[in-house]
Amino acid sequence: MKVAKFGGTSLANAEQIKKVCSIITSDSERRLVVVSAPGKRSRDDIKVTDLLIKCALKYISDGAAEEELKAVVGRYAEISRDLNLDSGIVELIENDLRQRMSNYGNDNDRFMDSMKAAGEDNTAKLVAKYLNSLGLEASYINPREAGMLLSDEFGNARVLPESYEKLEKLKDKSGIMIFPGFFGYSKGGDVVTFPRGGSDITGSILAAAIKAEVYENFTDVDSVFVANPNIISNPKAISVLTYREMRELSYAGFSVLHEETLEPVYRMGIPVCIKNTNNPSAQGTLIVLKREINNGPVAGIASDSGFCNIFVSKYMMNREVGFGRKLLQIFEDEGLSYEHIPSGIDNISVILREKQFDETTEQRMLKRIREELSVDDVTVERNRALVMIVGEGMTRTVGIAVRATGALAGANVNIEMINQGSSEVSLMFGIKSEDAVNAVKSLYQEFFG
């Protein structure tokens, strides 16, 4: 059995949903299907999930959100009309949304997750209905009944290990199963969602649970490219990547797969294939445990901005037992997860995602660092980007760093931090965000030009 996941652009309107259904029916092994909520139909359009968030926010502030609700229902009504479904499904969706709103209960986080999940949940019901209307055996799968159990972290859930055994039973069901992505249930029975873009994670969990032959992830590009096509025009396509390479690339901005997607399939060794709904016969990109290195040392170049650097210096830091632990304890107390901690003899940098670090948190933490650790200096540098070159072929290859730093120097990009883990599968540079585009261009020229 294969697990096939379709992203938001693949479900944006009736025409796209027809393509999805013809992909499903063209292979009898595609029986477990994960759907996202309808995405953008054009560049300026709004995703259904974003419409639902607007609706929830309005309801929280005003106790009503009629107009916002209509915008969501309108999207489904249009799709349902264009698929020639009877109006019963739209009524069902509207009632479902009203029901969620009436269960508000003054808990904003819980309410927000319940509303966000409505996009995927109702899309799954609609797609199953459409397949039925074509005379096919297809059913909507309720994640609660199927056993998609998640941690009770609203908007940031993780799968609980006991889910796998429960979800494995889906194997015994007949017909095509349409499973809504992006959410599951806590042990307490609340709807909880993964981080944004998390339908990819649902597909991976299901593929691991049923030990699928392959996890097919259908999106709107023919393959993964070696660099962001918005920066490099016509970048080279990638036919095979390892899990490690994809994990590193998606960490640093390759948005084709959610960063947390690969863990479940990686553990079970299930290959992932990224494919294009709009061009399903294209080969796509395969992600596997091992690959032959026949295309140079670097597989891809990624960059992501939105980082900040907390730079701490103290003379003789290297002799102070426990300094690092005490510093990181302050971050832990604030509930902040750090990304990297490059260090020198008398200084250490803690690199964080900037969005977790507002001005008040900054002031509070700087005060604690100064007072509790008696440091000489502590400063915060914002608007930082990380640029990474990634590739299994970099391992034990001499001269990669010199080529990369030479390319960056040629583009007049100042490197503030260099980080290479001992796996050698990636080399990371900390730079100013404003330099990120030039950095990627120069590295592309060096390794793929």
Question: Cα separation of 347 and 328, whole Å?
Answer: 14
Cβ 36 to ligand ASP, closest distance in Å?
4
Q: Please, which residues have CB within 8 angstroms of residue 317's CB and are 6 or more apart in sequence?
A: 323, 345, 346, 347, 348
| 349 phi, psi to nearest 5 deg | -115, 135
Q: Which is nearer to ligand ASP, 197 or 393 (CB)?
A: 197
Q: Which is nearer to ligand ASP, 36 or 242 (CB)?
A: 36
Cβ 53 to ligand ASP, closest distance in Å?
9
Question: Rounded to 5 degrees, what angle do the CA atoms 334, 336, 337 make?
Answer: 150
Residues that bind ligand ASP (CB under 6 A): 8, 36-37, 47, 49, 119, 181-182, 196-199
Measured CA distances, 167 to 113, 149, 152, 157, 197 (Å): 22, 10, 19, 17, 21
Structure tokens at 246: 């994809």
Cβ 424 to ligand ASP, closest distance in Å?
32
Question: Cα separation of 236 and 93, whole Å?
Answer: 42
Q: Which is nearer to ligand ASP, 119 or 393 (CB)?
A: 119
Cβ 7 to ligand ASP, closest distance in Å?
6
Closest to 435 (Cα-Cα) out of 381, 383, 380, 379: 383
| 248 phi, psi to nearest 5 deg | -65, -45
Q: Which is nearer to ligand ASP, 254 or 331 (CB)?
A: 254
Structure tokens at 307: 């980082």
Q: Please, which residues have CB within 8 angstroms of residue 382's CB and are 6 or more apart in sequence?
A: 308, 354
Which residue in the shown chain puts its C-beta closest to ligand ASP? Answer: 199
Query: 3-state SS string over 84-133?
Result: CCCCHHHHHHHHHHHHHHHCCCCCHHHHHHHHHHHHHHHHHHHHHHHHHH
Cβ 16 to ligand ASP, closest distance in Å?
14
The DSSP bridge pattern shows strands 138-140 and 176-180 to be parallel
Cβ 181 to ligand ASP, closest distance in Å?
6
Q: Please, which residues have CB within 8 angstroms of residue 62's CB and are 6 or more apart in sequence?
A: none
Q: Which is nearer to ligand ASP, 201 or 240 (CB)?
A: 201
Cβ 49 to ligand ASP, closest distance in Å?
4
Q: What is the CA 134 to chain-centroid distance, rounded?
A: 33
Q: Which is nearer to ligand ASP, 35 or 427 (CB)?
A: 35
Cβ 269 to ligand ASP, closest distance in Å?
24
Question: Cα separation of 351 and 226, whole Å?
Answer: 25
